Structure 1
Amino acid sequence: MSVLPVRFPLEPPAGAGRRGRVTRAEELRIQLADEITRGTLPPGTALDETALAARFGVSRTPVREALRELTASGLVDARPHRGAVVARPSVERLQNMFDVMAELEALCAGLSALNMTPPERRQLEQLHADMSDFMRQGEFTAYREANEQFHNSIYAGSHNEYLIEITIGTRRRLSPFRRAQFRALGRLALSHTEHDQVVTAILRGDRDGAAAAMRSHIAIVHDAYEQYAQTI
């Protein structure tokens, strides 16, 4: 396979400006994850650290870190003394990952319905309105970036630091699949409708309603990814 050299910076993940400069390992992880989920790098493709470092114009250190992250997501199989190859997580493993994600995000949404401050609620409402504009205009990248901010604001609104920590950690493992699901036909409009149910429940202070709406949303995200994966 002939692959053109890539030079950084690549597209930064949403919220990068708030966290500081995105590392090269993070940029590389996103680029490789997108290529794997698009089918550009099919299962079984060897991922040689030296070749990747040359392609992206980086040292082997960020390459090694990016491959570790992708291994945790199930997109890479790192075998001792045999190198890394592109993999695809089993249906069962991916289902288990999304099941856990759904419960964590449902808990965050439920607590946000109770604990969000008035400024946080206004910020969530405004972000949701901005995403409506992105959806109508077909601004795919802007919507995807705002989507991460949307979920992060709900994590923060729970005001439970430990929950935020483990939710972000789990989301990081699932991020390649969550990004890919937006390629499914009509996904932006459906995603916004699902978000609307979550936001309405949170602003109403409805803990159970917010949790149920978020749990359903994450389940649909999983279904959308599977729908997209069948097309590649």
Structure 2
Amino acid sequence: MEPNEPEMAAEPSALRGRDRQRGKGATLSDELKDTLEDLIVSGVMKPGARLDEAELAERFKVSRTPVREALKALAATGLVDLRSRQGGVCVARISLPMLIEMFQMMAVMEGLCAKFAARRATEAQKLRMSTLHDELTRILASGDHSRFYDVNQDFHDALYEASNTHYLAEQTRALRKRVRVYRRYVTFQPGRMTATIGEHGAILDAIRRNDPAAAFSSAIDHVSLLEDDIVDLIAALSEQDGGAP
């Protein structure tokens, strides 16, 4: 398999303007954490990349204190490794066994979100999911992978919202964020977008029919099939790089 690599946005050299416009309660370290998190989960900062405090302070035009606080906060989410084998701080790597385990947990958590959505979703929430599903179908025809990935994120967020849970939705989002960079790569592989449309359709149909069991199994199938694609992709990338991710 020859993996197709998604195009990544250029890395900013300063905090984004929109971050500067956040609420009064947001600190500089909060803004920096959000910016670094975006760079990590989007794949701009790749697993294993070193994160030097002095370099980051210079790049984002801040002192080292908010950089240190931001890195500690990111370490608490699992996105940053403060004690890497290479020495110093780096973007966290996920081993293949751990990645498989995370996707197995993700499948159950998204299955539960779908199950609760089949029981609790409002008509407005169902409409939101349907609208996003229709948009994904249109994007598929255009072949716009980047746009498809973004709207796919919105679809899953809408599913979590439709579950009308708090802790479950929050934890599912957190885990999804940990594996987001790998999911992004898979979106760009041949046939994955077409498969996603069918899998989302099955989830949505079960939710519309208020069928919790079918919604649960459809969501698990979706994430499990995605896991298979990711394992294949990581194996191919490892062969090219001569090592594990």
Q: TM-score, normalised by structure 2?
A: 0.74
2: CA distance between counterparts of 1:171 and 1:5?
22
Secondary structure (helix, strand or coil) at the match of 2:108 reads helix
The Cα shift of 1:28 comes to 2.1
1:6 match: 12
Matched, 1:162 2:167: yes
1:176–1:69 Cα change, 3 Å: farther
1:52–1:202 Cα change, 3 Å: same
1: CA distance between counterparts of 2:76 and 2:187?
22
2: CA distance between counterparts of 1:193 and 1:124?
14
2: CA distance between counterparts of 1:175 and 1:157?
21
Aligned counterpart in structure 2 of residue 48 of structure 1, from 48, 52, 69: 52
Deviations 1:32-79 (A, max 9, x none): 340355xxxx74x53212113333445542575257536744x64321
Matched, 1:65 2:70: yes
**Matched-pair contact (CA < 8 Å) for 2:56–2:67:** no
2: CA distance between counterparts of 1:120 and 1:90?
36
Matched, 1:28 2:36: yes
2:195 match: 190
2:152 match: 147
Structure 1: gaps of 5 or more residues:
13-19
2: CA distance between counterparts of 1:27 and 1:227?
30
Within a 5 Å distance, the mapping from 1:1-232 to structure 2 comes to 6-8=12-14, 23-33=31-41, 34-37=43-46, 43=48, 45-60=49-64, 61-62=66-67, 65=70, 68-69=73-74, 72-73=77-78, 76-79=80-83, 82-229=87-234, 230-231=236-237
Deviations 1:148-206 (A, max 9, x none): 21111111111222222222222222223222322323322222221111111111211
1:5–1:86 Cα change, 3 Å: closer
Q: Over aligned residues, Cα RMSD in angstroms?
A: 3.0
2: CA distance between counterparts of 1:112 and 1:154?
7
1: CA distance between counterparts of 2:207 and 2:170?
21
1:145–1:50 Cα change, 3 Å: same
The Cα shift of 1:104 comes to 0.8
Deviations 1:126-163 (A, max 9, x none): 11001111121122222212112111111111122222
1: CA distance between counterparts of 2:199 and 2:133?
11
Structure 2: gaps of 5 or more residues:
1-9, 19-25
The Cα shift of 1:108 comes to 0.6
Q: TM-score, normalised by structure 1?
A: 0.77
1:207–1:5 Cα change, 3 Å: closer
Greater CA drift, 89-98 or 173-182: 173-182
Count of residue pairs the alignment pairs up = 214
2: CA distance between counterparts of 1:104 and 1:166?
8
**Matched-pair contact (CA < 8 Å) for 2:53–2:67:** no
**Matched-pair contact (CA < 8 Å) for 1:125–1:199:** yes
The Cα shift of 1:87 comes to 4.8
Secondary structure (helix, strand or coil) at the match of 1:102 reads helix
The Cα shift of 1:103 comes to 0.7
